Structure 1
Amino acid sequence: MPSPSVALQPRFPFTLPWLKLCALLAAALVAAPLVSVGLNVFAAGTADTWSHLAATVLPDYVLTTLLLCAGVGTGVAALGVGAAWLVTRHDFPGRAQFEWALVLPLAMPAYVMAYTYTDLLQFVGPVQTALREAFGWRRADYWFPDVRSTGGAVLMFSLVLYPYVYMLARTAFLERAGGLVEVARSMGLTPWQGFVRVSLPLARPAIAGGMALALMETLADYGTVSYFAVQTFTTGIYRAWFSLGDRAAAAQLALALLAFVVAVLVLERLSRGRSRFHETTLRRTGTPRQPLHGARAVLAWLACALPLGLGFLLPAGLLLRMALREGDAQFGTRFATLAGNSVLLSGSTALLAVALALLIAYAARSHRGPAMRWSHRIVGLGYALPGSVIAVGVLIPVTRLDHLIASALRGAFGIEAGLLLTGTIAALVYACLVRYLTAAVQTIDAGLSKITPHMDDAARSLGHGPAATLRRVHLPLLRGSVLTAALLVFIDVMKELPATLVMRPFNFDTLATQAFTLASDERLAEASTAALAIVAVGLLPMMILCRQIARGQSVSAH
């Protein structure tokens, strides 16, 4: 039997240093693209480039980005908070189904939504064609809003991204507003007054967090704004790099876009102020939902059906219809190649992300200190970096490294090696890994937090070191978290467009790039096949999420 002093010893007195080194190396890899962009901005001869940008395109980029953020922030807040309040505090026909189905629009990439609504609402589309036939109108007889505009982009982003606010607000309403709503009613407040004065202030941090996620996705998007010809920083970065061949301009625009991302994160933090939103009791009281009847029930049903229908059911139905009627003429061998490329890219990134996430999360469990704390924060920064910024940050040093290698081989052996790393799948996987590693780390962190430290002590008392403990104790318990992390990264990379467009190897197209290319050539029906495949793959994590929501609701009901 071990002596009592054993319990006072560190959990792993001889922890292998490679755990800590791996975590620090992963943080360095995530930080490298950002450092690369920053260093290139201050390189010699970039002042004139910045002056030219400031005098020409920069004002339009700033104004359009501000309009997009304001519109999308308002849209996702209105749709998400309204739907969350209806399904948590009211009872009406279809409420139980809406509660989980309202997250389905997350499976629909915004650029896919843009393609389907363009086909639906354009001049030769079914809506305007039906109006002209019904009323005998000609082109000059009526006005119809142009979906390919800044307002149209705001609508697309709002319909796709409102579930971020919906999920967080719903949780806040369920967990924090239960007993206080009853207190508000006892004080004579109407349900609306209780919502405005009690529930909404308590849910403010959750709503702000959901809005921040939606705005970061908006800033990172390229497919939607490019297809709608909306001038944003992301389209400017792509144009500067490929059309103009100006690396300095691309880096400066990338840094300006990153400043917008940082501003969103800072505003989300400042919105909380010094307020604290803690539970003061462990008691969980399920507040009875207010039953709705008649016209109120119909309005509540419509309020939930509208974002679900417009954000998922209608575009999915349109994609399926186009794919079945026309679809991609090269559906056979070409489609298999595209799907194989997508799976290769997504699978490779997911495997590497899970392996690194296990090492990082386990190193944080075994080591304490500022180094591990900062490495965790830097790894988490990757998701906040738009794919276009990461692509520029990866391409600049990789291209320089390629030139150095080529020069060395030419001088030593007379070999013309060309570019060995630039334009390869390895560079693309690295960019995607930087972008989505944080999703895997957070998922595995959550799984490790549920494993009691006493299991580590028991493993150590049996003579197991950190590596053996991870392999024989933690990995079997983390099987579900590991699979979830791999799935999340796989789906995110499958939908990734900006980094893939910029960094993909020659003749290496994915489902996302194929859909974008065909849609850009106005071949919307052919693009529907690849777009529908992306949506179908995205449905899998949404189904898992819906099951968790339904399970959580059944638990809270008891």
Structure 2
Amino acid sequence: MLPVLALIGFALQGSPGLWPHLFRNVLASALGQTIILLSGVGVIVASIGTVTAWLIAGFDFPGRRILGWALLLPLAVPTYIIAYAYLDILHPIGPVQSLLRDLLGYDSPRDFRLPDIRSMTGCILLLGFVLYPYVYLPVRALFATQAANLLEASRTLGAGPMRVFRQIVLPLARPAIAAGMALALMETLNDIGAAEFLGVRTLTVSVYSTWLNRTDLPGAAQIAIVMLMIVVSLVLFERWARKGQTYAGTARRHLPLARVRLRGVAAITATMLCTLPVLVGFIAPASYLIHQAWRRYSYNGIPTRIWSEALQTATLALIATMIAVGLGLLIAAATRLRPSKVTHFAVRISTLGYAVPGTILAIGLLPVIIFADRQITAALGLFMTNAPQLILLGSGAALIYAYVARFLAIAAGGIEAGMTRVPQSMDHAARSLGQSPTGVFRHIHIPLSRASMISAGLLIFVDCVKELPATLLLRPLNVETLATHLYGEAARGTYEDASIAALMIVLIGMVPVFLLSNRI
């Protein structure tokens, strides 16, 4: 709660005339572009995620088994890496446009060039093709576990594939689509690198420029309040979309969904529809990164500073992961050992940070960290003459705090889900044998939840490595991570120098993809 409360208090410190100025010069344009971006990305992720999930779950066609897990691969590529890669791939003198001019017989970019990727349309398309797995995953899971009986009944009553999709599949998938869309749109709102690279001035970009370029922290806090209102609206939208949606299974045993075998043109179309998102969202940018990284390595080797940046990235992410998993374990234990309305409410509040974009979290954390630093400095001043200043902000503790607050929900949710698989009878048996609640937690819950703790820790570690907005705003001076290194090189246009860092981030990001594919 501290970052959100501090953000509100900081926004109130601005001068009375700041709001009208921000509305005229910043909010009107940035809010409009943010709404257009969210609307476009929402349509694309819902369309791609639902259609691909339905094809994979309901039909059999060439390549279906491979495409079923390959459709998750764009999750490994952060949005700012996609923008960075396609800026070079689709540049007027880049490989794609150069090849097209050679094929069509043109000599110069002035004679033939594609529309500029630096546009709202380009940003919507690229973000949509990266974030659709947020819809694909829950919708596919729903089809696999709940849709079989209803779909089989509709088929036996004579409904064709399109009618089944329109009248059964879409209404059934509405809650899963809404949940996935809400997550994808929150990631869109959290993005700062892709939007800035592609020339779209969203609220997130406005917060960053207002804080750092204009040194106007109250103004940035007021823009962040508008972003927070959008986040609340997305959460309310997701709840509204699931309102009144319940499911009652009538079969005693779960029946697997019988897939329809496609042949001819239908099979080719299904394969192409499922291949296109993988090609655009992963294969093309990953191939580009491998090529550019190899060119950089062949020409000048691996930059020496990349190893220190990788070490700093891993150190910060590992510390944040250990703290988040520890706190998540305490949260899960509280819900298991002391269930109550107070505990339930506290758990919901503790996971609030996952819904807050990294930019908002960074601004909200700043006054909290500065206040703590002042208290520490005052306390140390009692014992030494030259007490150090900005200990937390300068040591990376503020950034670790931001990582923990942002991704604590992953630890709490994952470990709590693991503990729910431990039967209550084990707790009762241990208590009857003389164990205290702490002993039950130590000897029963922790060993049996170890797999969930490891999975949650891996996901948090990868998310910390990929996080860009909070890292940009809260990292100590002279500290670079892989994400900030990539951001700086891409901003300067030195794409080859950024390719190795980008490839390392993608390889790390593939860890949760493999975990999800194995689970599927």
TM-score by length of 2: 0.96
Alpha carbons of structure 1 residues 416 and 359: separation in structure 2 relative to 1, 3 Å: closer
Aligned residues of 2:31 and 2:202 also touching (Cα < 8 A): yes
For the residue of structure 2 that corresponds to 1:337, the secondary structure is helix
Alignment-mate amino acid for residue 358 of structure 2: G
CA distance in 1, matches of 2:383, 2:106: 77
Per the alignment, residue 49 of structure 1 pairs with: 18
Per the alignment, residue 295 of structure 2 pairs with: 325
1:208 paired with 2:164, answer no
Alignment-mate amino acid for residue 483 of structure 2: A
CA distance in 1, matches of 2:305, 2:179: 41
Per the alignment, residue 486 of structure 1 pairs with: 457
Aligned residues of 1:41 and 1:251 also touching (Cα < 8 A): yes
Q: Show the 5 A alignment for 1:234-313.
A: 234-313=204-283
Runs of 5+ in structure 2 lacking a partner?
none
Per the alignment, residue 337 of structure 1 pairs with: 308
For the residue of structure 2 that corresponds to 1:47, the secondary structure is coil
Per the alignment, residue 447 of structure 2 pairs with: 476
Q: Deviations over 1:406-463 (max 9, x none)?
A: 4676698653533222232111100110000100110000110000111111222222
1:452 paired with 2:423, answer yes
1:105 paired with 2:74, answer yes
CA distance in 2, matches of 1:541, 1:271: 28
CA distance in 2, matches of 1:126, 1:428: 38
Deviation at 1:520, TM superposition (A): 0.8
CA distance in 1, matches of 2:473, 2:301: 24
Alignment-mate amino acid for residue 318 of structure 2: G
For the residue of structure 1 that corresponds to 2:254, the secondary structure is coil
For the residue of structure 2 that corresponds to 1:418, the secondary structure is coil
1:522 paired with 2:493, answer yes
CA distance in 1, matches of 2:80, 2:341: 40
Aligned residues of 1:329 and 1:526 also touching (Cα < 8 A): no
Residue in structure 2 matching 1:87, options 56, 59, 62:
56
For the residue of structure 2 that corresponds to 1:421, the secondary structure is helix
CA distance in 2, matches of 1:546, 1:176: 20
Alignment-mate amino acid for residue 355 of structure 2: A
Per the alignment, residue 25 of structure 1 pairs with: none
CA distance in 2, matches of 1:346, 1:449: 27
Aligned residues of 2:101 and 2:112 also touching (Cα < 8 A): no
CA distance in 1, matches of 2:74, 2:321: 23
Per the alignment, residue 83 of structure 2 pairs with: 114
Q: Deviations over 1:440-499 (max 9, x none)?
A: 110000110000111111222222222222222222111111111110110000100000
Q: Higher mean Cα deviation, 174-183 or 78-87?
A: 174-183
TM-score by length of 1: 0.90
1:151 paired with 2:116, answer no
CA distance in 2, matches of 1:439, 1:162: 20
Residue in structure 1 matching 2:347, options 376, 379, 382:
376
For the residue of structure 2 that corresponds to 1:423, the secondary structure is helix
Deviation at 1:169, TM superposition (A): 0.9
Runs of 5+ in structure 1 lacking a partner?
1-30, 550-558
CA distance in 2, matches of 1:179, 1:425: 53
Aligned residues of 1:104 and 1:308 also touching (Cα < 8 A): yes
Alignment-mate amino acid for residue 345 of structure 1: L
Q: Deviations over 1:129-176 (max 9, x none)?
A: 122333224333234111122111111211111111111111111222
Residue in structure 1 matching 2:476, options 498, 505, 509:
505
CA distance in 1, matches of 2:232, 2:339: 27
Residue in structure 2 matching 1:60, options 26, 29, 42:
29
CA distance in 1, matches of 2:395, 2:254: 54
Aligned residues of 2:296 and 2:302 also touching (Cα < 8 A): no
For the residue of structure 1 that corresponds to 2:244, the secondary structure is coil
CA distance in 2, matches of 1:342, 1:416: 28
Per the alignment, residue 399 of structure 2 pairs with: 428
Q: Deviations over 1:159-208 (max 9, x none)?
A: 11111111111111122221212221232221110111012101110111
Alpha carbons of structure 1 residues 322 and 65: separation in structure 2 relative to 1, 3 Å: same
Per the alignment, residue 13 of structure 1 pairs with: none
Per the alignment, residue 69 of structure 1 pairs with: 38
Residue in structure 1 matching 2:357, options 386, 395, 403:
386
Identity %: 40
CA distance in 2, matches of 1:278, 1:529: 50
Alignment-mate amino acid for residue 264 of structure 1: L
CA distance in 1, matches of 2:422, 2:262: 44
For the residue of structure 1 that corresponds to 2:394, the secondary structure is coil
1:142 paired with 2:112, answer yes
Aligned residues of 1:123 and 1:129 also touching (Cα < 8 A): yes
CA distance in 1, matches of 2:280, 2:330: 42
Per the alignment, residue 439 of structure 1 pairs with: 410
CA distance in 2, matches of 1:432, 1:90: 41
Residue in structure 2 matching 1:359, options 323, 327, 330:
330
Deviation at 1:329, TM superposition (A): 4.7
CA distance in 1, matches of 2:320, 2:113: 47
For the residue of structure 2 that corresponds to 1:240, the secondary structure is helix
CA distance in 1, matches of 2:50, 2:107: 40
CA distance in 2, matches of 1:525, 1:463: 63
CA distance in 2, matches of 1:426, 1:397: 12
Deviation at 1:317, TM superposition (A): 0.9
CA distance in 2, matches of 1:296, 1:249: 55
CA distance in 2, matches of 1:304, 1:485: 29
Per the alignment, residue 317 of structure 2 pairs with: 346
Aligned residues of 2:92 and 2:113 also touching (Cα < 8 A): no
Aligned residues of 2:178 and 2:238 also touching (Cα < 8 A): yes
CA distance in 2, matches of 1:426, 1:547: 35
Deviation at 1:42, TM superposition (A): 1.8
For the residue of structure 2 that corresponds to 1:203, the secondary structure is helix
Aligned residues between the structures: 518
Alignment-mate amino acid for residue 124 of structure 1: I
Aligned residues of 1:83 and 1:166 also touching (Cα < 8 A): yes
CA distance in 2, matches of 1:411, 1:474: 45
Deviation at 1:275, TM superposition (A): 3.2
